Amino acid sequence: MRKRWLVYLLCLFTLGLTQTLTQAQPNNAFPLLVQSGDNWAALAVRFQTDEALLRQLNPHPNPQRQPTIGTELILPETAVPQTGSLIRPFGTLLATAAQHQTSPWLLALRNNHTSPHRPALHQLLFIPNSTTTPRDLPAGFTSLELSQTVGKPGQAVGLRAVLDSEQPVTAVLGNNEIGVFANGRFLVGLTGTGAFFGTQQPSLQIQVASAPLWEQPWQFRDSDSWTFQQLTLTGTAAQIDQQSIAEERERLFAIWEKDSDTPQWNTPFQLPIDNFLEISSDYGARRSYNGGPYRTYHEGVDFAAYGGTPVLAPAGGTAVVAEFLYVRGGAVIIDHGLGIYSGYYHLSSIAIAPGDVVTPGQLLGEVGTTGLSTGNHLHWDLLVDAIWVDAQAWIEQGMSCWILAGLNGACN
C-alpha cells in the first residue's frame, strides 16, 4: 500500500512539473518572420496581445530597438492574428471613421477609446478589414515591400512602395543613402551592399516629406561560399601604374554616380555572352596578390571565351563609354537608368559609340585580352547606386522586372 502511494505521489509530482515546464515555454504555434512594418506596437495590435509581453519574450539589450526585419520572433501562446490596417490620423476618430467608411463607435471600441469624438493625432489606430496585415508603415505609405527579407551582401537590394499621394521620400540603409525613384504614387528605392558588407543589422530609415522618421533594423547575413584566389604578379604586371589605375576609377565613378530617373529597359536582363568556355572568376572572389592579405574582391564576373566571341547587350540602355582604357582595355559601359550601369571589358573590338541607344541582344563588341588582362575573357560588371553587385544574382532574382513592377511598369 505504502509503495502504491509513493508511486501515486511521484506521478502527481511528475505531472505537475511537466505542466509547469509547459506553461513556462512559449507556444510557437505562430512562428513569425519579421517583415517591414512589424514593430512592437503593430505586432501587439496584429496578434491582440500586450506589447510588454512581446518584448519580454524577445529581449534585447536596447529596449528602444524595434524587431529586426528577417529575424524570427517568439509569440505568446495567447496570440490570435487579426486583419486590418494601421494608420496615424490627423483628426478625430469620427473623421477617421468617415474617411475609411467604418462605424466611429466600432473604431473607438477596437482601439480602446471611450468616445469617437476624441482627438487621435498621430496615434496608431487599427482599422478593421478582411484583407490587410496590420503593419506600421512610413507616413503616407499604403504598402512597403523589400527585395529580400534577409539581405545578402554583394547583391542589389531594393524597396518598392505605393503612397497615398505624391510626396518627396528619402531613404537610407546604414550610412548609405538609397536612390529613390517615383512614377506618380509608385516608388522604388535601389542600392547595393558590396561583397565586404558582411553579416550585420543596419538601420533602414525612410522619411516622407516632413513626417516623423520611420526606422527599422534589417538583417543581412553573409555567405559562407565566397572563393579565395591567390594571384602572383610578375614582370611588367608587377609594375602596374597605380596612378593611372586611380585616375581611370575616378573618371568612371564620376559617370556611375549619376542617376537618371527613367528605366531604359523593358525586358528581363540576360547574360551578355552566349558562347563561353567557363566562368573563370565569380563576383566577390577574395583576392590576395603576391602572398599579401585578402584586401580586395573581384568586382565582376569573368567569362573565359575564345577571342572574337560576340558580346551582346543584356538589356536596353545608352552607351556612356565605348573606348580603349588603360586597365579595362576595350570597354563599353551602358547606362540602364535608375543608377544601374553594366560594363564589358578587355574587348578586342568595339561595335558601338558613346551616346548610342542599345537594344537587348545588340552587338557591343568582341571578346579579347586588351588592357590589364592575361588571356581572352569577358569581364562583366554591374553597379547599382555606384556599388558593384553580383550581376548573376541580379538575373536569378529577376530584379529588373521586380523594379519595373514597382514603378507600375511592364516587363516583356
One domain, residues 232 and 212: no
* Residue range 277-301, pLDDT digits in tens: 999 999 999 999 888 999 999 999 9
How much is the pLDDT for 31? 76
Q: Does pLDDT of 90 surpass 90?
A: no
The mean pLDDT value for 394-407 works out to 97
How much is the pLDDT for 30? 59
| Whole-number Cα distances in Å, 292 to 232, 284, 338 | 10, 17, 37
Contact 291, 252 (CB under 8 A): no
- Domain end: 96, 128, 160, which one? 128
One domain, residues 255 and 353: yes
* Residue range 206-216, pLDDT digits in tens: 999 988 899 99
How much is the pLDDT for 179? 97
* Residue range 38-60, pLDDT digits in tens: 999 999 999 999 999 999 999 99
* Residue range 236-268, pLDDT digits in tens: 666 778 898 899 999 999 999 999 999 999 999
402 lies in some domain: yes
Domain hosting residue 268, numbered range:
228-406
Task: Report which residue type is found at 390.
Answer: D
Contact 404, 412 (CB under 8 A): no
One domain, residues 102 and 204: no
How much is the pLDDT for 238? 67
Task: Report which residue type is found at 226.
Answer: W
One domain, residues 274 and 380: yes
One domain, residues 247 and 365: yes
| Domain containing residue 169: CATH number | 2.60.40
How much is the pLDDT for 124? 82
- Domain end: 164, 191, 217, which one? 217
When the pLDDT of each residue in the chain is averaged and rounded to a whole number, the result is 89
16 lies in some domain: no
3 lies in some domain: no
Using pLDDT thresholds of 50, 70 and 90, give the confidence band for residue 28.
very low
The mean pLDDT value for 76-80 works out to 91
One domain, residues 241 and 381: yes
168 lies in some domain: yes
* Residue range 93-124, pLDDT digits in tens: 777 777 778 877 777 777 777 777 766 666 78
| Domain containing residue 108: CATH number | 3.10.350.10
Contact 389, 191 (CB under 8 A): no
The owner of cell 524595434 is 66
pTM here? Answer: 0.88
The mean-pLDDT minimum among 48-52, 61-65, 84-88, 110-114 falls in 110-114
One domain, residues 160 and 299: no
Measure the CA angle with vertex 283, ends 281 and 284; round to 5°. Answer: 110
200 lies in some domain: yes
Beta pairing class for 141-146 and 125-128: unpaired
| Domain containing residue 247: CATH number | 2.70.70.10
Neighbouring-strand partners of residue 331: 323
**What string of H, E and C letters represents the secondary structure of the chain?**
CHHHHHHHHHHHHHHHHHHHHHHHCCCCCCCEECCCCCCHHHHHHHCCCCHHHHHHHCCCCCCCCCCCECCEECCCCCCCCCCEEEECCCCEHHHHHHHCCCCHHHHHHHCCCCCCCCECCCCCEEEECCCCCCCCCCCCEEEEEECCCCECCCCEEEEEEEECCCCCEEEEECCEECEEEEECCEEEEEEECCCCCCCECCEEEEEECCCCCEEEEECECCCCCCCEEEECCCHHHHHCCHHHHHHHHHHHHHHHCCCCCCCCCCCCCCCCCCCCCEEEECCCCEEEECCCCCCEECCCEEEECCCCCEEECCCCEEEEEEEEECCCEEEEEEEEECCEEEEEEEEEEECCCCCCEECCCCEEEEEECCCCCCCCEEEEEEEECCEEECHHHHHHCCHHHHHHHHCCCCCC
6 lies in some domain: no
Which phi and psi (to 5°) does residue 209 adopt? 50, -125
- Domain end: 217, 243, 262, which one? 217
One domain, residues 123 and 196: no
**How many distinct structural domains can be found in the chain?**
3
- Sequence-distant (6+) residues with CB within 8 A of 72 are 31, 32, 33, 34
Contact 96, 120 (CB under 8 A): yes
The owner of cell 516608388 is 187
One domain, residues 171 and 319: no
One domain, residues 328 and 367: yes
Q: What's the CA gap between 127 and 129, in Å, rounded? A: 7
304 lies in some domain: yes
412 lies in some domain: no
One domain, residues 189 and 322: no
Task: Report which residue type is found at 15.
Answer: L
One domain, residues 238 and 329: yes
